[in-house]
Amino acid sequence: MLYARVVLPLAQPAYTYAFEESTGIGEGDAVIVQFGVRRYYTGIVWEVSDEPPRLGRIKSISRRLYSTPLLSPWQRRMWEWVADYYICTIGEVMRMALPSLAKPSADSAEEFSKEIFKMPTESYVALPQELSGLDGGQLQRRIAELCRRAPRRAEIMTRIAALAAEKGAADGFVRRRLIDADAALLAAMRSRDLIRTQMRERGAEAESASDFLLPQLSPAQQRACDEIRGSVAEHRPALLYGVTGSGKTEIYMHLIAETLARGGDVLMLVPEIVITSQLVERMERVFSSHVTAYHSKLTPRRRTEIYLRLASSSGGELVVGARSALFLPLTHLGLIVVDEEHDPSYKQTDTQPRYNARDCAVVMGRLSGAGVVLGSATPSLESYVNSLGGKYRRVDLTERYGEGELPEVIVSDTMRAVKRGERKVHFNKVLLDGIARTLADGGQTMLFQNRRGYAPYVECRECGWTARCPHCNVTLTLHRQPERLECHYCGYTMTPPAACPNCKTQDVSLMGFGTEKVEQEIARLFPEARVARLDRDTSTSERAFRSIVTAFENGETDIMVGTQIITKGFDFDRVSLVGILNADNLLNAPDFRSAERAFQLMMQVAGRAGRRRGGSCVVIQTSQPQHPVVRQVAAGDYEAMARQQLDERRTFKYPPYSRLTRFALRCKEYEHLREAANAMADMLRRKFGARVMGPVSSTVETVRGEHRAEIVVKIESGASFGRAREMMREVIESMHSAPEYKSVVISVDVDAQ
């Protein structure tokens, strides 16, 4: 008898189960176990020992679930690291990391069996056994004999032989999909023993990984690529700081090709939205069937299929994925690329564990021995500081590729434009002139506004009433098509009131503006232009998103209005003007990162202009033209921004000079919440003293009818964060074990954004 510590997908520690050695069960395997009175779960065998535990009655493992382990040894170390660092259990990591259908649970063993995921299969065909081993001439003669007066059959057999040779299929079987023949004909051939057929698990055809058609690198790109190789060789993550349009993707391609050729796997992480855009296509053009895209819009079936296929793959896989791809079982991992490493979407914010995929990627590189490349035109200050300290090796790429030139930046003072009568609705004259000129030249324009909808809020001029969500404490945003007020937190909608519900006057007016309004006004000002809008409202499906992007790509749209979405990684040929409609609301966000983020956003959106030729331009509309960040963007001076922001962060002990851990408490009952939050803050203060801030009610006090409170603990760099996490874990555990706080849900966010 052997004993296994088994991790279950629950906020619980691992439990011990017994099994017979003859079952062949080993570490990393998924197994079926009974937990509680009658529930059956998928568990992961974490450790095996031959020593029986001293306490209690030990249940047995029912059986193994899949023929290959779901996790490699270094992946198990990775889950352990995530659980330790982000203060949760390994079971919670499991719950998040494995796709839902890969880890069934059920009330009985029979029911469980029905829930087990079956890999989709597809049919394969081969020539009859007797033909194997014949050389070309002999084979052709045999085929001709077998298919007398049936040239179509002979053709199919020849094609199978050719494909099998081309793909190097040792057993002669090739995908039926590749044979251009209808089912009836193949069935007839099989009944005459002209072919054999077989059902096999659907998997990517292993194609040879050597002759990729790679772009020729420019001398500057070549130098950067060599430096990255050097960094990888000394097991140090490389930070590729390359301006927008410098061709970072081309450098990645070379590094990826080398890894695949060695039989290694590659993980390329990109922000969620980029994945649905051009990048996957660009990668597929070079790496064809080696590429697997992975993101949250895939169905649970598809995600499970990818996970299980990769778990038994023999290497040579390139996964291009959003943050959740971090947990895919790439057993032969040789390279991890994190593109746009500064992007906030790498941080999981809504469910436990709240991990940062970029930081996890660096740890994963260490655990697996894979090389790590972080790339950005505007690196996060965290990574920048790591490169200053030598933890990362910084590699610079300061020029655009080819004929592309960085755009000229014009800062347009909104206040002055108003005074001079040079502003129409939301647009300063400089921008309108630019749009007109761009239209006349046949170029394209992108307009960026970081609010979607029509008007951010609706206010009564008389009494100051604003339309608010009854569930969340925020103003509702006006949308026009269809006409409604919508809560951007919970999705609540209502019809806009014709008169103020409070004082009954009819003077209810729209304040501020969103993308929908910009789109409408631009269409009115430039009736001849073809205008489109890209934001969360217009890209509800991947198809809708793609068709807007493709139309713009093909030059069927002249002006594209959009939110954050348009800043991310797009590579359009003809954009010669970019307008940032309101830099003020980026600069004034109440957050210590607002300056860094504003800089990154503006640089990224500006980076969409002039990627193929010079003479492009960016107009920034702002009422604070002297604001340091605006000047830094105008000068394209990342270093100046970094220096200034780091000075401020150091003074106020903000990250990267400290680590912030945020505890969020929520509860339907306000009184319970208040008591719990106070008790928790007291407990934390006894351990951490003045490093504890709060409790405060969150920026949005109530969401979906629940009250919320926050406590933040700030641990300065230099103090042991490992010890601090242990103490925080103790506090959470004592909160959980106190019966009076049962109704309060506590979540923890390490390195909160």
**Which residue spans within 623-739 are E strands per DSSP?**
658-667, 692-703, 706-716
Instruction: Choose among Zn ion, ligand ADP, none what residue 463 binds, the Cβ cut-off being 5 to 8 Å by kind.
Output: Zn ion
Q: How far apart are CA 280 and CA 325, in angstroms?
A: 14
Residue 288 binding: pick among ligand ADP, Zn ion, none (C-beta 5-8 Å cut-off by kind)? none
* Separation of alpha carbons 464 and 467, rounded Å: 10
Q: Which does 571 bind (CB under 5 to 8 A by kind): Zn ion, ligand ADP, none?
A: ligand ADP
CB of 35 closer than 8 Å to CB of 328? no
Residue 376 binding: pick among ligand ADP, Zn ion, none (C-beta 5-8 Å cut-off by kind) = none
Is the distance from CB of 252 to CB of 268 less than 8 angstroms? Answer: yes
The residue behind tokens 């921004």 is 641
Applying CB under 6 A, which part among 209-217, 646-654, 706-714, 720-728 lies near ligand ADP? 209-217
- Residue count of the chain, please give it: 753
Q: Taking CB under 6 A as the rule, does residue 216 contact ligand ADP?
A: yes
Burial class (CB in 10 A: 0-12, 13-18, 19+), 119: middle
Distance of CA 587 to the CA centre of its chain: 25
Residues 6+ apart with CB under 8 A from 142: 131, 134
Q: Does 277 bind ligand ADP (CB under 6 A)?
A: no
Provide the minimum distance between the beta carbon of 348 and Zn ion in the complex, in angstroms, as a whole number: 22
Pick the closer one to Zn ion by CB: 127 or 467. Answer: 467
Q: How far apart are CA 481 and CA 473, in angstroms?
A: 24
Strands 575-580 and 617-622: parallel
List Cβ neighbours of 119 (8 Å cut-off, separation of 6 or more): 201, 202, 305, 308, 309
Interface residues with Zn ion (CB under 5 A) are 460, 462-463, 465, 469, 471-472, 487, 489-490, 492, 500, 502-503
Q: Is 341 in the site for ligand ADP (CB under 6 A)?
A: no
Which residue lies nearer to Zn ion by CB, 497 or 625? 497
| Minimum gap (Å) between residue 185 Cβ and Zn ion | 60
- Report the distance separating Cα 611 and Cα 618, nearest Å: 13
Which position among 217, 522, 583, 683 is part of the footprint of ligand ADP (CB under 6 A)? Answer: 217
Q: Which of 9, 69, 172, 247 binds ligand ADP (CB under 6 A)?
A: 247
484-486 and 493-494: which strand pairing? antiparallel
Nearest to 342 by CA among 409, 267, 244, 478: 244
- Residue closer to Zn ion, measured from CB, 460 or 531: 460
The least distance separating Zn ion from the CB of residue 509, rounded to whole angstroms, comes to 11
Q: How far is the CB of 245 from ligand ADP (least distance, A)?
A: 4
**3-state SS of 331-395?**
CCEEEEEECCCCCHHHECCCCCCCCEHHHHHHHHHHHHCCEEEEEECCCCHHHHHHHHCCCCEEE
- Where would I find the H helices in 148-269? 151-167, 183-191, 219-233, 248-261
Q: How far is CA 254 from CA 54, 214, 217, 318, 322, in A?
A: 55, 7, 9, 13, 21
215 vs 344, which CB is nearer to ligand ADP? 215
- What's phi and psi for 402, nearest 5 deg? 60, -135
Determine, following the binding rule CB under 6 A, whether residue 215 of this chain makes contact with ligand ADP: yes
Residue nearest to ligand ADP (CB): 247
Q: Compute the least distance from the CB of residue 626 to ligand ADP, in Å.
A: 29
Residue 215 interacting entry, from Zn ion, ligand ADP, none, C-beta within 5 to 8 Å by type = ligand ADP
Name the residue nearer to Zn ion (CB basis): 23 or 502.
502
The residue whose two tokens read 């023949």 is: 181
Say if strands 291-294 and 318-321 run parallel, antiparallel, or are unpaired: parallel
- Distance in Å, CB of 578 to ligand ADP, minimum: 14
- Binding of ligand ADP at residue 344 (CB under 6 A)? no
CA dist list (Å): 462 to 469, 494, 502, 509, 596 = 20, 21, 10, 10, 38
Choice between 250 and 749, CB closer to ligand ADP: 250
Please report, to the nearest 10 degrees, the dihedral formed by the alpha carbons of residues 498, 521, 553, 292 taken in order. -30
**Distance set, CA 552 to CA 273, 535, 561 (Å):** 16, 14, 11
Residue span binding ligand ADP (CB under 6 A) among the ranges 46-54, 190-198, 247-255, 323-331: 247-255
The CB-of-218 to ligand ADP minimum distance in angstroms stands at 5
Q: Please count the residues of this chain forming the interface with ligand ADP, following the rule CB under 6 A.
A: 16
Judged by CB under 6 A, the stretch of 167-175, 210-218, 354-362, 471-479 that binds ligand ADP is 210-218
Task: Decide whether 214 or 640 has the Cβ nearer to ligand ADP.
Answer: 214
Q: Which amino acid is at 417?
A: A
Instruction: Please pick, from the candidates 43, 69, 245, 453, the single residue that binds ligand ADP as defined by CB under 6 A.
Output: 245
Q: How far is the CB of 280 from ligand ADP (least distance, A)?
A: 13
Of the two residues 566 and 728, which places its CB atom closer to ligand ADP in the complex? 566
**Nearest residue to 498 (alpha-carbon basis) of 516, 485, 514:** 485
x/- mask, ligand ADP, residues 564-583, rule CB under 6 A, reads -------x------------
**Which CB sits closer to ligand ADP, 32 or 575?**
575
Shortest gap between Cβ of 376 and ligand ADP (angstroms)?
9
Shorter beta-carbon distance to ligand ADP: residue 469 or 605: 605
Stretch that binds ligand ADP, among 106-114, 242-250, 349-357, 423-431 (CB under 6 A): 242-250
Interface residues for ligand ADP in 65-104 (CB under 6 A)?
A: none
Q: Nearest CA to 119 among 295, 316, 303?
A: 303
Residue 218 interface partner, choices Zn ion, ligand ADP, none, CB cut-off 5-8 Å depending on type: ligand ADP
Q: State how far the Cα of 610 lies from the Cα of 573, in Å rounded to an integer.
A: 8
| Near ligand ADP in 366-425, by CB under 6 A | 401
Q: Which is nearer to Zn ion, 429 or 704 (CB)?
A: 704
Shortest distance in whole angstroms from residue 256 CB to ligand ADP: 13
Residues 593-652 contacting ligand ADP, CB under 6 A: 611
DSSP 115-162: HS----EEEEEE--GGGTT--HHHHHHHHHHHTTT-HHHHHHHHHHHH
Nearer to ligand ADP, 571 or 701 (CB): 571
In the complex, the residues that contact ligand ADP under the rule CB under 6 A are 215-218, 221, 242, 244-250, 401, 571, 611
